[in-house]
Structure 1
Amino acid sequence: MTTSEFDSYFPAEYAGPRRRRRRGAARDLAARGSDWLTGRARGRGEQPVVPVPEFSSYYGQGVVKAVPWKHEISVYLFTGGVAGGSGLLAVGAHLAGRDALRTSARLTALAAAGASGVALIADLGRPERFLNMLRTLKLTSPMSVGTWIFSGYSTSAGLAAACEVDRLLGGRRGGPGLPVLGALLRPFDAVGTAGLALFSAPLAAYTAVLLSDTATPVWFESRRHLPQVFVSSAALASGGVQMVLLPTGAAGPARRLAALGALGDLVAVHRLEQHLEHEGVLEPLHTGHPGTMMRTAKACVLGGGLGALAAGALRGTPAG
């Protein structure tokens, strides 16, 4: 009898004594005929030589392409959130007559928007790529809408900050004020405030829509919950910045906003993880370096929220 290297793919012909078929056992006639013709019933016949394929990669490459983001995108997202939250704080402080908080929030909003724009352009590589997005408005494109939101916010923040600098230089009290532009800008203070009220919340949320507009499973499945996470983190970050910049007595609204942002962030992330677990794509957020970053972020958010609640009581100053 000849042997071949392929003989190992065939099962042994003898698999023990046959058991008698029980009387009355019903089998499909077509299946019985197929087994008899192929010899499968006797342990012989055609057997698969190639193992059952399991799809795990595409020619050795990962099925999901890794995102090419660098640290510039992290800076862009963080400073964009700070800008959006600071804009809302500036509007609230303006309406409530809190001069110190209004001044700090307006200047922070402009600085954060500038840093966010620099980081975005650094990631794009060339400034004209950002300018090209302003040639048209496409409502079905998150990137196009986001570009216009960012531009509208930056213009409003710049106008409000310029009016604030003019006020700091005494322009509203008979002083020199901002050279040349001071007298022209003063009537537009309300316009800058209205622009911040209009664009601040969309600025904090649009990046979540932009990131989830992808085929990457984790980002795509997060599209319903990610805006809540981004808005909450923007409130937490902007409130924390004002807590650092202002005395405790003047930072009461910022402190409350930070505490609410921390609570909202923890709840939104929990709901997001529940949804991702239900969809079967939660593992990337809980393993390896991303898992470590996620656990660290949760601890920082919890600590920041508790610190915001305790700051006023520990310093013995009114929360106002």
Structure 2
Amino acid sequence: MKYDIIIVGGGPIGIACFIEAKKNNLSALILEKGTITNSIYNYPLDMTFFSTSEKLTINDIPFNCIAPKPGRKEALEYYRNVANYYDININLYEEVLTIDKSDYFTVTTSKNTYFSDNIILATGFYDIPHLLGVEGENLPIVSHYYKEAHPYAFQNIVVIGANNSAVDAALECYRKGANVTLIVRGSEFTSRLKYWVKPDIENRIKEGAIKAYFNSTVEKISHTSITVQSNHETITIETDHILAMTGYEPNFNFLERAGVLLQDDGYKTPFYNPETMETNVKDLYLAGVVSGGLQTNIWFIENSRVHASQIINHIQSK
């Protein structure tokens, strides 16, 4: 079957694009390589969103939440219900392998081949960790994903990073009995740190419950330790586990294979028209966080929901 639109990625923004297409009587299909809202599913079990529930809504469907800010479990429930309500056409566990353009797009997946007049890439950024690029990073002692604190109870762990994911992991593991050391590249935590978490981590460091090294970079990792350059001093820390919460990045290789050009701006920002979200490839659009390249802090669910209407309006205008 040939569709008006194929959407790659079944996260909140991909769902929003499908709903907007359906409202405009355009045939659409979502192709998702994992489960629905796969990135949110892979978030830490007890993660709390920075945004309030009303800023995470799609198409004005209410997001009921008892707490001031929703967590992972509530978000999964909400987006599942939205997908069910709009009867979205989505193929799960079907990875897109190639996108080829002639008079229309040919999309080859791990299971089938599809055709479409337009493509929307809403692929997010959570699948590929931003690597440290140091010796020993591929050892079993290192993980770039954090699910819950229990496996690290009563263990020596090192957490690398200055963002919310690193601080959340450090605090949760500390409270489950882990001996936690934080490695931060800069002189302080990111300014985007959740306001209710910032005083907590600062006080734990001040009282010595969590040890922190600022202005520090990782030099190498072994099976039992991590070597850090901190304020012109080389320090080796014995550890059982390392949580490298250094962020994630879009699948740039996939974008380039689809024909999308990346800017030489230090962030690999894809080329697109900010008014229409159309890339340098005619009829191929970007939606959501993938639009920011390595600047994954620019686009969120709450401010990229508008991409759906921008894209569909442009498709309709043609």
Quick check: TM above 0.5?
A: no
TM-score (norm 2): 0.28
The structure with more radius of gyration: 1
**Larger proportion of strand:** 2
**Larger proportion of helix:** 1
Query: Greater relative contact order (Cα 8 A, min sep 6): structure 1 or 2?
Result: 2
